[in-house]
């Protein structure tokens, strides 16, 4: 009897090994895409990698095979990491690379010229804290860079690992982001002429500023209904 069952057991073991290998490869593609896309400077190069990784995870799930997480969790978690990483890296340049060619070109002649005239005419004018001289501007950036984005990155990573505390902190940091973006946007628009009027005069104007920032601003708002309707029992690991 043991001899007759041996081929079937070997075949099952081979199938499980193959599925495990497929899952590991899909996870590698997925996380590589998340990291590359979140790096900002080479972000667009990471999008095909990320999409391919999500596609592979989705395909594994549709075939009824065991996956690390539901595909929608992968999408939400990936967006959260990319969003937090992109803002963290971008505002780190704003703060620590203001006197360098990279910071000057990326923020003043790129973002400033195209979307936010305040950065084009005033970037790097402040002492030590860099950025632009609008009251409260760098306070919001420091708040996010040293507190909010690190919290969000940790929460999103644990969220993808299906940790219960990661799910809880995704809810917490999502509401923190809603609060942050309301404050940051209101504070920034107080200097309308410097950003969009005759003083700043960005190439894409007021509408361009909203289009550029809408992904970051509206992303957390979209996540709120998801986090309150998804089955929280999926995150069972402490």
Of the three residues 45, 68, 91, the one that is the final residue of a domain is: 68
Q: Are residues 56 and 112 in the same domain?
A: no
Choose among 183, 163, 166, 181: nearest CA to 222. Answer: 181
Q: Which domain holds residue 88?
A: 80-234
Q: What is the pLDDT of residues 35-83, one digit of tens each?
A: 888 877 777 788 888 888 888 887 877 766 656 778 788 889 988 998 8
The per-residue pLDDT for 71 is 79
What is the DSSP secondary-structure string of 204-223? THHHHHHHHHHHHHHHHHHH
Domain annotation covers residue 209: yes
Q: What is the pLDDT of residues 84-132, one digit of tens each?
A: 988 888 888 777 766 666 666 666 777 778 888 777 777 767 666 677 7
Q: Are residues 87 and 183 in the same domain?
A: yes
Of the three residues 68, 91, 114, the one that is the final residue of a domain is: 68
Instruction: Please state the pTM of the whole predicted model.
Output: 0.80
Domain annotation covers residue 198: yes
Which helix (H) or strand (E) segment is 32 a member of?
helix 2-38
Token pair of 171 as six digits? 């809810």
Choose among 74, 79, 80: nearest CA to 27. Answer: 74
The per-residue pLDDT for 3 is 52
Q: What is the pLDDT of residues 6-36, one digit of tens each?
A: 554 444 444 444 556 677 788 888 888 888 8
Q: Are residues 90 and 58 in the same domain?
A: no
């Amino acid at each position: 009897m043991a001899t007759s069952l041996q081929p079937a057991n070997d075949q099952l073991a081979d199938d499980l090994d193959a599925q495990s290998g497929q899952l590991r490869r899909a996870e590698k593609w997925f996380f590589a895409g998340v990291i590359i896309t979140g790096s900002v400077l080479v972000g667009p190069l990471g999008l095909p990698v990320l999409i391919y990784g999500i596609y592979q995870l989705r395909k594994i799930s549709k075939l009824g095979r065991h996956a690390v997480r539901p595909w929608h969790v992968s999408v939400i978690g990936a967006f959260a990491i990319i969003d937090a990483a992109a803002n963290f890296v971008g505002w780190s340049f704003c703060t620590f690379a203001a006197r360098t060619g990279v910071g000057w070109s990326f923020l003043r002649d790129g973002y400033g010229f195209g979307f936010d005239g305040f950065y084009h005419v005033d970037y790097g004018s402040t002492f030590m804290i860099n950025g632009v001289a609008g009251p409260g501007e760098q306070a919001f950036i420091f708040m996010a860079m040293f507190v909010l984005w690190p919290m969000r990155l940790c929460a999103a990573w644990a969220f993808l690992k299906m940790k219960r505390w990661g799910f809880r902190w995704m809810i917490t940091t999502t509401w923190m982001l809603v609060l942050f973006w309301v404050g940051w946007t209101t504070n920034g628009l107080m200097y309308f002429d410097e950003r969009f009027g005759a003083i700043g005069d960005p190439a894409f104007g007021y509408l361009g500023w909203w289009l550029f920032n809408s992904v970051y601003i509206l992303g957390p708002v979209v996540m709120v209904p998801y986090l309150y309707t998804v089955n929280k029992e999926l995150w069972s690991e402490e």
